[in-house]
Structure 1
Amino acid sequence: MRVARIVLIVVVILGGLFVVADRIAVHVAESKAAERAQSSEGLATRPKVSIEGFPFLTQVAGGKLHDVTITADDIATGDGQQAVRIDTFHADLHGVKLSGDFTRAVADTADGSAFITYADLTKSAPKGITVGYGGTDKNGRAMVKLTGSFMQSQLSVLSQVTVRGADQIGLHAEGLPKAFTALGLEDQVRQQIDFTTQLTHLPSGISLTDVTTGPEGITVAAAGKDVVLAN
């Protein structure tokens, strides 16, 4: 019996050391992944990477991580008028396969969201146009409000934000003031207020799926399968 108790103690101690080693390994992996992401993407702040599931070491040995969560702030999506800054970003990756000496990573599925403030949307809008929250229309849809000037006259319209393609969102005015349409200026006005903006550098395999409008900004959702995270 005493031998059995000694063996049990040893097993418990070894198991505890394995847990400690496993947690140390996952912490180092999370830190290195965040550091590499910040460096390669030129991020102003380091993202937070969380590798879920236990034990971590057996996941690595098997070449596949169960679940990985990434959160990041202040992401510049690219240069140019159509690019827009992302205030906060969150992604959940499932079934991340590792290969090529850990230089390639592909997620079975991924979903996430990006929050964009109205101040940042304004920066990507045509010159002289300000984007803000517009409340809801008569059908209960959340809208954004675009204000500015056209031909020295003040202009204010409600627009809906929708997904356009895999990496773009578009703003389209629901209606224009009669003062402009009566003069046949609808096309000219729409060239000033209807615009698209792009979320650049999305991973291969992921696409924008939906936009939610709120008082502080918009939330853009994305999802995909066989998402290439590194190659």
Structure 2
Amino acid sequence: MRALRILLIVVVILGGIFVAADRIAVNMAESEAADKIKSSQGLSSTPEISIKGFPFLTQVVGKELDEVDVSLAGITASAGGRSVNVTEVRAELRSVKIDSSFSSAVADRADGSARISYADLTKAAPQGATVSYAGPERAAKGQVKVTGPLTDLLEGAGIKVPGAFKGLLKGRTVTAYSTVGLRGGSTVQLKAESLPRLPLPGFDEKLRQIVDYDLKIAGMPSSIKLDKVEATDAGLRFSGRGTNVSLAG
């Protein structure tokens, strides 16, 4: 019995050492991967990497990781030459196969998501416009609220208003509810449901061209195509899925 007890103690100690070594190895791998992603993508902050599954060392020997979760900050969206921050980009990678030189990998499948706050949506909006939450009913239809002084919107777009009509527009505010859609897997489109008619010939279409605009989201692996957008009280959330997602080292 004493011998058995000693054997069990040895097994427990060795198991603890293996677990500790395994956790040290995975922490080092996560740190190294985060530094490489930051450097290769030119990010302003270090991403968070979480390698799931146990034991890690046997996954490395088999050159396949069960699950890798990546969270990125410092990603941008652009609209009309203006760049704004994307609050967060996440990618959940599954069955990640590592090549023989450990310099690249391919994930069998990946789920990606991105969030943009209303404050950042406003920064990307036409000059003079503010983007905000449209309330639960309109948010359920994928709509956001866009408002702004009419003269600010027109002048911000470089559109001159004839002096004889300036008095008619003074103090007028445009309020529109824009439906958010996706195009090409990475471009966000905002299109106003309806707009007020203006007392200026030909200016209705100009206002439409100002209020409707696109945002191009960068930073998501090219194999992941965004296909869903949700309007929440904190901003817009986008999500998508990809297969055979290539990851350079």
Structures share a fold, TM > 0.5?
A: yes
Which structure's residues are more often strand, by fraction? 1
Alignment-mate amino acid for residue 59 of structure 1:
Q
Q: Secondary structure at the match of 2:198?
A: helix
1:212 to 205, 215, 230: 230
Q: Where do 5+ consecutive residues of structure 2 fail to align? A: 155-160
Which residue is equivalent to 2:213? 195
| Letter of the structure 1 residue corresponding to residue 221 of structure 2 | P
The offset of 1:43, in angstroms, is 2.1
* Deviation for aligned residue 1:194: 0.6
Partner Cα distance (1:220, 1:206) in 2: 12
Q: Are 1:173 and 2:192 counterparts?
A: yes
TM-score by length of 1: 0.88
Query: For residue 54 of structure 2, what is the amino acid of its counterpart?
Result: F
SS at match of 1:68: strand
Q: Any residues of structure 2 matched to 1:113-152 within 5 Å, and which?
A: 113-136=113-136, 141-148=141-148, 149=150, 150=154, 151=161
Amino acid at match of 2:248: A
1:141-174 alpha-carbon deviations (Å, 9 max, x no partner):
2421112324563322110111111111100000
Shift of 1:124: 1.9
Partners of 2:245 and 2:27 in 1: CA distance: 24
Kept in 1, the 8 Å contact 2:79–2:215? The answer is no
Identity across matched positions, percent: 44
Match of 1:224 in 2: 242
Partner of 2:18: 18
The farther-off stretch of 13-22 and 34-43 is 34-43
2:89, 2:99 → 1: CA distance? 26
Relative to structure 1, is the Cα distance of residues 79 and 31 closer, same or farther in structure 2, using a 3 angstrom cutoff? Answer: farther
Q: Which range moves more in the overlay, 21-30 or 81-90? A: 81-90
Specify whether residues 139 and 84 from structure 1 end up closer, same or farther in structure 2 by C-alpha distance, changes over 3 A only.
closer
Q: Which amino acid aligns with 2:108?
A: D
Larger CA deviation: 205-214 vs 85-94: 85-94
Q: Do the aligned residues in 1 keep the contact of 2:92 with 2:111 (CA within 8 Å)?
A: yes
Displacement after TM superposition at 1:9 (Å): 3.2
- Kindly report the root-mean-square deviation, in angstroms, between the aligned alpha carbons of the 2 structures: 2.5
Change (3 A) 1:211 1:84: farther
Q: Structure 2 length as normaliser, TM-score?
A: 0.82
Q: Which amino acid aligns with 2:132?
A: G
1:52-98: CA deviation from partner (whole Å, max 9, x where unpaired): 11000000111110011122334235696265421122221111111
Q: What is aligned with 1:85?
A: 85
Number of corresponding residues = 230
Q: Which deviates further from its counterpart, 60-69 or 153-162?
A: 153-162
Letter of the structure 1 residue corresponding to residue 192 of structure 2: A
Distance 2:56 2:96 in 1: 13
Q: Which protein has the larger Cα radius of gyration, Structure 1 or Structure 2? A: 2
Q: Check 1:5–1:51 CA distance in 2 against 1; reply closer, same or farther (3 A cut).
A: same
Counterpart residue type for residue 120 of structure 1:
D
In the TM superposition, residue 184 of structure 1 has moved relative to its aligned partner by: 5.0
Structure 1 unaligned regions, length at least 5: none
Within 5 A, what are the aligned runs for 1:33-44? 33-44=33-44
